[in-house]
């Protein structure tokens, strides 16, 4: 078993190494599920076979030592060399290959359950959600807010809260589901979303926004206007820079339901299909979102982002956000 365990750890190192050096894309949910199953098998084998076998060997050792001492005592020999307790302790110890498998099962199981059904950490990799979220923010995602989904296959089994306009959502990128994206929900199923001349409208009604001065934009190394936008019941900051208008490209779009979108010089208007959502970044002129790659299906939702739990460059970032 030690050689089998060493081979399994070797495969794990190869997988993680290839993932780290970008030879392939990893799937942490699948990896965690596999680790949980493998360590569970070892844990069951330890409880049903390996531990009872070690305990039986220890009992036999103690019984044999007692018998030997009794025989020697009958011959008048009272002093006998050997520490049976030390030998018994060594017999009862888990070998390394069980310590690093069955011994880790409770910890891996707790992490798997927490990450799959309660909360998942996520790191903000880009500035698409500035000013709400900054690059380097470490956030928590509520996995059960929109319902309980089975891990790995992402099938919803229990409904919870409906998706609302203004929610900040982590989802699997429709173009490459192996990647996680984070954006704000702008359009719900059936909505008509327009973003024309850097102004957002939903179902023909302009979305209210109030100027809030300017903030420094690290990407352009200049100051950019900031507004308070109200989507549904959520008020949040957005950045709209009139000097950086988006260009959506001249080629026809090929994403699913692309026929629901009309692209003109001033911007884009899309009708959100059933079971899908229209996502946009709060940094409106520096966000690759539904305007470019289309709608997010409900089955791609991971959860609702709600809390910055750490930013090593700015501890004042810690706290809830809208």
* Phi, then psi, of 120 in degrees rounded to 5: -130, 130
What percentage of the chain's residues is helix, strand, coil (to nearest 5)?
35, 30, 35
For residues 238 and 116, give the distance between their C-alpha atoms in angstroms, rounded to a whole number. 31
Question: Tokens in use for 194?
Answer: 């327009």
Question: Do 194 and 267 form a contact (C-beta atoms < 8 A)?
Answer: yes
Q: How many CA atoms lie within 13 A of 200 on its CB side?
A: 27
Nearest to 293 by CA among 261, 315, 267, 265: 261
User: Which residue in the list 128, 194, 287, 290 is annotated as catalytic?
Assistant: 128
User: Quick one: which of 205, 161, 173 has its CA closest to 187?
Assistant: 205
Distance in angstroms (rounded) separating the CA atoms of residues 41 and 246: 53
Q: Active-site residue among 143, 183, 253, 304?
A: 183
Of how many residues is the chain composed? 322
253 is catalytic: no
**Residue 128 annotated as catalytic:** yes
The Cβ of residue 229 has, within 10 Å, a number of other Cβ atoms equal to: 22
CB-based burial label for 295 (10 Å; 0-12, 13-18, 19+)? buried
Please list, in sequence order, all residues whose beta carbon lies within 8 angstroms of the beta carbon of residue 91, skipping any fewer than 6 positions away: 54, 57, 58, 61
Positions annotated as catalytic residues are 128, 183
């Amino acid at each position: 078993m030690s050689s089998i365990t060493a081979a399994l750890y070797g495969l794990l190192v190869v997988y993680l190494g290839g993932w780290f050096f970008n030879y392939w894309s990893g799937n942490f949910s699948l990896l965690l599920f596999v680790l949980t199953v493998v360590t569970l098998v070892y844990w069951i084998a330890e409880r049903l076979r390996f531990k009872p076998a070690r305990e039986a060997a220890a009992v036999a050792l103690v019984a044999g030592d007692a018998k030997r001492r009794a025989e020697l005592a009958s011959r008048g020999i009272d002093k006998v060399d050997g520490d049976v307790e030390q030998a018994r302790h060594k017999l009862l110890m888990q070998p390394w290959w069980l310590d690093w498998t069955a011994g880790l099962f409770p910890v891996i199981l707790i992490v798997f359950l927490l990450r799959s059904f309660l909360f998942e950490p996520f790191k903000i990799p880009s500035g698409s959600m500035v000013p709400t979220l900054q690059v380097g923010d470490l956030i928590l995602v509520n996995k059960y807010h929109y319902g309980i989904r089975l891990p790995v296959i992402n099938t919803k089994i229990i409904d919870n809260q409906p998706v609302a306009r203004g929610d900040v959502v982590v989802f699997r990128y429709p173009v490459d589901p192996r990647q996680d994206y984070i954006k704000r929900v702008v359009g719900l199923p059936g909505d008509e979303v327009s973003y024309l001349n850097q102004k957002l409208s939903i179902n023909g009604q302009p979305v209210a926004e109030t100027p809030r001065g300017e903030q420094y934009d690290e990407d352009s190394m200049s100051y950019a206007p900031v507004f308070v936008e109200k989507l549904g019941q959520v008020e949040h900051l957005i950045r709209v820079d009139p000097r950086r208008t988006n260009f959506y490209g001249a080629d026809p779009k090929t994403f699913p339901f692309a026929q629901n979108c009309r692209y003109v010089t001033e911007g884009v208007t899309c009708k959100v299909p059933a079971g899908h959502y229209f996502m946009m970044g709060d940094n409106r002129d520096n966000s690759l979102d539904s305007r470019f790659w289309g709608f997010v299906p409900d089955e791609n939702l991971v959860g609702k982002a709600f809390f910055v739990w750490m930013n090593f460059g700015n501890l004042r970032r810690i706290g809830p956000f809208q």
